[in-house]
């Protein structure tokens, strides 16, 4: 893990420019939003997620998170079939703020084109550089 300003960038994950992280786990993929995103949104009060069995497509919206500040689309970093939805986040959306990389995950999918689509998002090193750019711009 590296701290960029006040934001954690976790090693071993991939990142999309839509502020989502991806963890590959035994052929499946766990997805959540980054610490940067949850801190920008501030207090998250509601999450709308798709159902198990639904399909998500890379770069397409699949749900929303609502904070006291705004409603933001969740955009799929990879394509695949949804295997799990984090019911705890639906019941207690503040978990996204409290623990975005562990308890605050959103979906687990079976990816349909993992190797090719991972090339479209950032690895850890690129994500660290991207976060540095975000900080400079803000």
Q: Has residue 84 been placed in a domain?
A: yes
Q: State pTM to two decimals.
A: 0.94
Give the model confidence (pLDDT) of 84-102 as tens digits: 999 999 999 999 999 999 9
pLDDT band at 3 (very low <50, low <70, confident <90, very high): confident
Q: How far apart are CA 82 and CA 136, in angstroms?
A: 36
Structure confidence at residue 16 (pLDDT): 98
pLDDT at 125 over 90: yes
pLDDT band at 137 (very low <50, low <70, confident <90, very high): confident
Q: Has residue 135 been placed in a domain?
A: no
Residue 22 host element (H or E): strand 20-25
Q: How far apart are CA 105 and CA 85, in angstroms?
A: 9
Q: Has residue 40 been placed in a domain?
A: yes
Q: Has residue 53 been placed in a domain?
A: yes
What tokens does 127 get? 């994500």
Instruction: Give the CATH number for residue 92.
Output: 2.40.50.100
More confident residue, 135 or 45: 45
3-class DSSP state of 62: strand
Q: Has residue 8 been placed in a domain?
A: no
Q: Has residue 27 been placed in a domain?
A: yes
Structure confidence at residue 27 (pLDDT): 93
Q: What is the mean pLDDT of residues 126-130?
A: 96
pLDDT at 41 over 90: yes
Side-chain half-sphere exposure of 120, counting CA atoms within 13 A: 14
Give the model confidence (pLDDT) of 49-87 as tens digits: 999 999 999 999 999 999 998 999 999 999 999 999 999
Structure confidence at residue 6 (pLDDT): 85
What range defines the domain where residue 107 resides? 13-117
Q: Has residue 134 been placed in a domain?
A: no
- Structural domain count of the chain: 1
Q: Has residue 127 been placed in a domain?
A: no
DSSP letter string, 103-138: TT--EEEEESSHHHHHTTSB-HHHHHHHHHHHHHH-
């Amino acid at each position: 893990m590296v701290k960029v300003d006040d934001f954690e960038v976790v090693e071993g994950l991939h990142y999309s420019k839509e502020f989502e992280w991806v963890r590959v786990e035994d052929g499946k993929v766990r997805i959540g939003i980054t610490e940067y995103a949850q801190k920008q949104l501030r207090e998250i009060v509601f999450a709308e997620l798709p159902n198990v069995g639904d399909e998500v497509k890379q770069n397409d919206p699949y749900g929303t998170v609502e904070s006291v500040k705004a409603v933001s689309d969740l955009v799929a970093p990879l394509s695949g079939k949804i295997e799990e939805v984090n019911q705890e986040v639906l019941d207690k959306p503040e978990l996204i703020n409290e623990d975005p990389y562990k308890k605050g995950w959103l979906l687990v999918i079976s990816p349909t084109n993992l190797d090719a689509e991972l090339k479209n998002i950032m690895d850890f090193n690129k994500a660290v550089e991207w976060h540095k750019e975000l900080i400079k711009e803000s």
